Amino acid sequence: MTVPKTRKRLPLSVTAFLLVLGLVAALNAVHVAGRMLLAKAAHKVVVKEGTVALSALGEAVLLRRELILVAPRSGVWHPKVAAGERVSANTCIGEILNDELLARARQLQEEAKGEKVLWDSQLTAQKQQVEKELAVVNDKVLTLLAELKSDLIKLETVRAEQLNARLQDLLKRKSLLLAEQEKLERETASGGAWRQTEAEAQELMAQAATAVMTPLKGRFQNRLDGWEDVFDPLEYKTALSEPTPSGPIVIAAAAGVYVDQGQILGKITQEEPTFARVSMEQKCPMVALGDKVAVLFPLEQLEIPAEVVAVAHKENTSVLVLKLLASPPELVSVRETTVQVITSRVCGALVPEKALLLRDGQEGVYCWQQGKWQFIPVEIKALDQGQAIISGVRPGDEVASGLKF
């Protein structure tokens, strides 16, 4: 009968030592593998000198001085400027026409034209007749003078007296013709009865057309949105309380349409100054009265410098009234839009935001130094749209982007 051999166990202390040794080896292997993986797989980004804007989003209402134009009388509206066209003060933007007076004025114009044609024809015929008779008289006078000279040489006294009597008659006739010619010239200069008819037509034409003038320079608009009467540029602080449209959207009268007295014809929008009331769903304490900021209009792709002229900070919101320091024409038709208020810009070392990592409670980046990745603690100066300005690295350094540990 054989006795089975018993297997000797290692002491517990030895077993614990071996386990710890294996765990350390495994951790070292993982660390080495991680380093190798990072060295091979990390996406290197070169740190650049850049600028990041500190900004806040808000909903803006653009407010300006706007003058509503109404018909001074009833009639047919005939605008002389197009929607969006810039006009100066005291510009005639259109006319209100009285159809009845206009028709009568045009009728008198036609009558005056017909009277003038007839008068011209008659006057021309009279002038031609006088000129023809005057030419005949002149020829006869020249002939008698020649005959009279010949008879006087021949001492034919009786015949000379007869010729002289005839000459005197011709000279009287010539004097009458010259007087008639002068009279016709005066009539040509002064005009005939048709001038009176034409004057009546012009007077009726002036009465038929009533000019619509604007005392304000700006842009003519034929659409009203109800915001025209809610804002006074001299009292811009009142915009801190939430304004609302005072009326519905109105499309002004079209060309050639009959309008009643007082009916809306359009409005003049003053381009400068333009104010933006910006409501933010977050408190923006870094903005104070008098600050210079910039307003970014994403849809219009415009950035406009502005001054903070009124501000109200509440617990979780802020309201700014900004005076735009420029008013490009692209903003004339803009009333409500989303804007980005840029309060300041920070310059420095620029890296992608995804290059930032948190390690042991410290923000930092992996920087390629001396042939390996080194974790470098950094201070974040500004963040915006996936970019960050940081301290702790310099332009030209290479950092890892897109990896998490």
Q: What is the pLDDT of residues 191-244, one digit of tens each?
A: 778 888 888 888 888 888 899 999 989 999 999 999 988 888 888 888 888 888
Rounded Cα distance, 289 and 60, in Å: 18
Whether the CB-CB separation of 271 and 62 falls below 8 Å is answered with no
**CATH number for the domain running over 42-64+273-405:** 2.40.30.170
Supply the pLDDT for residue 3.
Answer: 42
Phi, psi torsion values for 160, nearest 5 degrees = -65, -40
Q: Which two tokens stand for residue 204?
A: 């009726």
DSSP code string of 352-375: EGGG-EEETTEEEEEEEETTEEEE
β-pair partners for 295: 304, 341
65-90+215-270 folds as OB fold (Dihydrolipoamide Acetyltransferase, E2P) (2.40.50)
**CA-based nearest residue to 97, from 71, 62, 115, 121:** 71
Phi, psi of 238 (to 5 degrees): -65, -20
Tokens of 218: 């700006």
CA 276, CA 59: separation in Å to the nearest integer? 10
Dihedral angle, C-alpha 207, 210, 211, 215, nearest 10 °:
120
254-to-212, 222, 232, 283, 320 alpha-carbon distances in Å: 15, 8, 28, 46, 38
Identify the residue whose tokens are 């604007």. Answer: 214
Q: Which two tokens stand for residue 117?
A: 């044609």
The strand pair at 292-297 and 302-313 is best described as antiparallel
CA distances from 201 to 49, 100, 119, 193 (A): 77, 13, 18, 13
pLDDT at 401: 87
CA distance 252 to 149: 89
Nearest to 356 by CA among 404, 394, 317, 396: 404
Per-residue pLDDT of the chain (405 residues; tens, 9 = 90+): 444 444 455 566 555 555 655 555 555 544 444 454 444 456 889 999 988 888 889 999 999 999 999 999 999 999 999 998 999 999 999 999 988 888 888 888 888 888 888 888 888 898 899 899 989 988 888 888 888 777 666 766 777 788 788 888 888 988 898 998 888 888 888 777 888 888 888 888 888 889 999 998 999 999 999 998 888 888 888 888 888 888 889 999 999 999 999 999 999 998 888 999 999 988 888 889 999 999 999 999 999 999 999 999 888 899 999 999 998 888 988 999 999 999 888 899 999 989 899 888 899 999 999 888 999 999 998 888 788 999 999 999 999 987 655
| N residues, the chain | 405
DSSP symbol at 68: E
What pLDDT, on the 0 to 100 scale, is given for residue 15? 58
| Ordered DSSP codes for 300-324 | TTEEEEEEEEEEEE-SS-EEEEEEE
- In terms of Cβ atoms closer than 10 Å to its own Cβ (0-12, 13-18, 19+), residue 360 is exposed
- pLDDT confidence of residue 2: 44
| SS3 of residue 90 by DSSP | coil
Cβ-contact 31, 364 below 8 angstroms: no
Token output for 250: 């109105």
d(C-alpha 156, C-alpha 256), whole Å: 87
Distance CA 73, CA 71 (A): 5
Contacts of 124 (CB under 8 A, 6+ apart): none
Cα of first residue to Cα of last residue in the chain, in angstroms, is 63
Do residues 88 and 380 make contact, with C-beta atoms less than 8 angstroms apart? no
Contact 396, 366 (CB under 8 A): no
pTM: 0.60
At 170 the pLDDT is 85
Q: Which residues is 276 bridged to in the sheet?
A: 62, 322
